[in-house]
């Protein structure tokens, strides 16, 4: 018998044994696990529902029926029955058995039946027993899971057998290619200058000495070639440097980014990050310092950031100056946490190197970060970076604005064109009345203001077909172009129109750049005191501002709040948890409420200091007559603690 037939025969026997053993143990283990899960599901559901039905507020028969229907409608249970102490059925829901339901065939279900456990719990009203609750889990999804697991295991074993059979065929061919690969191909690679891979293991021991000699010659040739390539690359870098800082210029950086985006076989899933940061006050810096001093400052900044980049061990990072005020970092093949550490170090260095301007303030940086994968379009990456910078400039802070590749949905009217297309889109939208409000109900537990709505500005494309563009996408561009005040005024007009047509209170967000516009407050007051606007409408309107504005421009925010209150409307403060510096100015403004949320609330119970800070915030705000709304509540214990200190959790 030939070697190939012997290999195939042994593989066949091995496959049969593997298939039988794997299927038996895997299916039995999966079936036992699913039985345990069904039992646990029945027990947990019975305990939870019995506890709910035993609450004093849930003793009404209709409410009891509603709770049972809600659990039954989840589709996870075959029967739910509540029996009174006298044995009479008080409420019952039972699923009809449908033959052939589910993915698993009937023969499989009969061959490997699953248990349908029934869990029972007592329902009480204080010390009085109301009845007995029994819940039976539905095994349909479990049967389908067991069937799917069986099919996958069977397919895996059969696939492994086919691969082993293929390996046996390839083994014969490998023996024939051994001589050609170890001698002929290596010599050809030296002659033609190709980078043929060195074999990791010698196939034929008798050729080891000849292979070592060929390898020595090949290494010398490669070393000489690499030295020449290094010299050529050094010359190319010198031609692509920024004259002032010595950093790579825009042309070189864009070529490197384009190369990183090229789709290469075997590296399709390789990802990386691009950081773009801009000196927002370079004109003022030039006015505050001499040209020589500014050049020296830029060189120092480049050297400090280059030092950070050099110490970055994850990947070879490219640092470049794209133009006068824009700098960029290309971070290829890097994981998110490592990239975050590098970005934070860059922020810290730039914060230390900030210079003072003639007006007494410090120069500001804006940061935009995005990720990419091979095969991504270059213009799409640059568009995301530009949008991130605009978002940072709009918010007014120095934090990094990250726009993920998977979550970015650019507007059809502004794709690939930058500020010119945004300007056209926004001006036409304002002129053609294509701005609208997206209104959603916002309820907070314990709030006396029950009929409350929050809104966000949206923009429709010219044809008004498809989903509108969210304000989170176009407002940063409006801020950069000086159109944010016009957009926010239009939002206020739309809000007043909504209040006239609807009952309830409405919240409208106002951006910080609009608030700092000297014409915005008078224009807002004019609309709030218009001929068609009455106090009944304005007192139901709340303009919500960002806490960053109160921290960075307290005088302007105080004047704005005072003017809005005098006009009859209200003012709220959002994102206080992200800007606790605003606490020192909280007493100087007239606010209806403040909002907390984000990671501060998420990790509240895990931090004693966070609890003390939350208590200080709520006591301060409530003492000033403000409500404290809380969003992003992770669990019930946190909700209870917030209610204990007077905060109003969002429902």
pLDDT tens by residue, 397-411: 677 888 888 766 554
pLDDT at residue 597, as a whole number? 83
- Residues 626/631/637/642 CA torsion (nearest 10 deg): -10
As a whole number of angstroms, the distance between CA 115 and CA 269 comes to: 44
* pLDDT higher than threshold 50 for residue 88: yes
Residue that wins the pLDDT comparison between 292 and 221: 292
The predicted model gives 311-337 an average pLDDT of 84
pLDDT at residue 593, as a whole number? 94
* pLDDT higher than threshold 80 for residue 241: yes
Note whether 135 and 119 are within 8 A (CB).
yes
As a whole number of angstroms, the distance between CA 439 and CA 16 comes to: 63
Q: Which CATH number fits domain 240-408: 2.60.40.10, 3.30.70.270, 3.40.50.1000, 3.40.630.30?
A: 3.30.70.270
Residue that wins the pLDDT comparison between 608 and 180: 608
**Model pTM greater than 0.85?**
no
* SS3 category, 532: coil
Select the highest-mean-pLDDT range: 63-77, 427-441, 460-474: 427-441
Write down the domain spans for the chain. 3-162, 198-235, 240-408, 433-591
Alpha helices by DSSP H, listed for 507-553, are 512-516, 520-528, 535-538, 547-552
CATH architecture of 433-591: Alpha-Beta Barrel (3.20)
Number of H helices, E strands in the chain: 22, 18
pLDDT at residue 531, as a whole number? 61
* SS3 category, 52: helix
The domain defined by 3-162 folds into: Beta-Lactamase (3.30.450)
CA angle 384, 387, 390 (to 5 degrees): 150
Pick from 198-212, 442-456, 495-509: least confident? 198-212
Note whether 528 and 567 are within 8 A (CB).
yes
As a whole number of angstroms, the distance between CA 405 and CA 390 comes to: 17
In the chain, what percentage of residues exceed pLDDT 70?
88
3-162 and 240-408 share one CATH topology?
no
What are the DSSP calls for 243-291, one per residue? TTT--B-HHHHHHHHHHHTS--TT-TT-EEEEEEEEETTHHHHHHHS-H
Note whether 600 and 628 are within 8 A (CB).
no
pLDDT at residue 530, as a whole number? 79
Pick from 257-271, 426-440, 451-465: least confident? 257-271
pLDDT at residue 214, as a whole number? 75
């Amino acid at each position: 018998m030939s070697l190939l037939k012997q290999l195939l025969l042994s593989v066949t026997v091995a496959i049969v044994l593997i298939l039988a053993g794997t299927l038996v143990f895997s299916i039995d283990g999966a079936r036992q696990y699913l039985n345990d899960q069904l039992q646990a599901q029945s027990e947990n559901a019975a305990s939870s529902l019995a506890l709910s039905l035993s609450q004093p507020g849930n003793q009404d028969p209709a409410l009891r029926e509603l709770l049972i229907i809600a659990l039954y409608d989840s589709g996870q249970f075959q029967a739910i029955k509540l029996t009174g102490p006298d044995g009479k059925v008080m409420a019952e829901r039972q699923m009809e058995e449908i033959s052939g339901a589910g993915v698993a065939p009937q023969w499989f279900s009969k061959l490997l039946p699953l248990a349908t456990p029934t869990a029972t719990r007592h329902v009480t009203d204080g010390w009085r027993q109301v009845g007995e609750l029994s819940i039976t889990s539905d095994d349909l999804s479990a049967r389908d899971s067991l069937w799917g697991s069986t099919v996958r295991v069977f397919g895996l074993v059969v696939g492994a057998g086919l691969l082993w059979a293929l390996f046996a065929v390839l083994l014969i061919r490998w023996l024939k290619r051994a001589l050609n690969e170890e001698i002929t191909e290596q010599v050809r690679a030296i002659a033609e200058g190709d980078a043929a891979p060195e074999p990791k293991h010698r196939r034929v021991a008798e050729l080891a000495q000849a292979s070592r000699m060929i390898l020595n010659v090949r290494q010398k040739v490669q070393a000489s070639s690499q030295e020449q390539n290094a010299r050529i690359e050094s010359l190319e870098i010198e031609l692509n440097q920024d004259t002032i800082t010595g950093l790579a210029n825009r042309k070189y950086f864009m070529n490197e980014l384009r190369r990183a985006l090229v789709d290469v076989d075997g590296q399709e899933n390789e990802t990386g990050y691009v950081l773009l940061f801009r000196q927002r006050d370079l004109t003022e810096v030039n006015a505050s310092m001499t040209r020589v001093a500014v050049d020296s400052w830029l060189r120092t900044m480049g050297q400090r950031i280059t030092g950070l980049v050099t110490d970055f061990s994850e990947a070879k990072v490219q640092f470049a100056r794209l133009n006068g005020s824009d700098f960029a970092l290309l971070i290829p093949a890097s994981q998110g946490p490592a990239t975050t550490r590098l970005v934070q170090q860059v922020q810290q260095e730039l914060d230390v190197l900030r210079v003072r301007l003639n007006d007494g303030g410090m120069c500001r940086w804006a940061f935009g970060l995005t990720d990419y994968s091979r095969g991504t379009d270059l213009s799409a990456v640059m568009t995301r970076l530009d949008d991130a910078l605009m978002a940072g400039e709009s918010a007014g802070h120095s934090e990094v604005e990250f726009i993920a590749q998977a979550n970015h949905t650019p507007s059809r009217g502004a794709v690939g064109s930058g500020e010119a297309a945004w300007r056209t889109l926004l001006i036409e939208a304002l002129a053609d009345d294509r701005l609208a409000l997206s209104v959603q109900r916002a309820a907070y537990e314990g709030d006396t203001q029950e009929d409350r709505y929050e809104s966000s500005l949206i923009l429709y494309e010219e044809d008004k077909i498809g989903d509108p563009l969210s304000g989170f996408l176009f407002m940063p561009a409006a801020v950069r172009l000086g159109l944010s005040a016009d957009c926010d005024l239009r939002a206020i007009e739309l809000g007043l129109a909504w209040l006239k047509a609807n009952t309830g209170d409405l919240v409208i967000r106002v951006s910080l750049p609009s608030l700092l516009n000297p014409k915005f407050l008078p224009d807002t007051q004019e609309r709030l005191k218009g001929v068609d606007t009455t106090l009944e409408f304005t007192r139901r309107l709340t303009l919500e501002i960002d806490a960053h504005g109160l921290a960075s421009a307290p005088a302007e925010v105080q004047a704005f709040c005072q003017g809005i209150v005098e006009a009859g409307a209200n003012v709220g403060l959002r994102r206080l948890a992200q800007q606790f510096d605003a606490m020192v100015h909280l007493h100087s403004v007239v606010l209806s409420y403040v909002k907390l949320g984000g990671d501060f609330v998420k990790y509240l119970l895990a931090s004693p200091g966070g609890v003390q800070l939350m208590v200080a915030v709520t006591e301060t705000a409530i003492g000033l007559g403000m409500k404290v709304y809380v969003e992003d509540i992770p669990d019930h214990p946190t909700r209870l603690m917030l209610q204990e200190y007077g905060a109003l959790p969002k429902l």
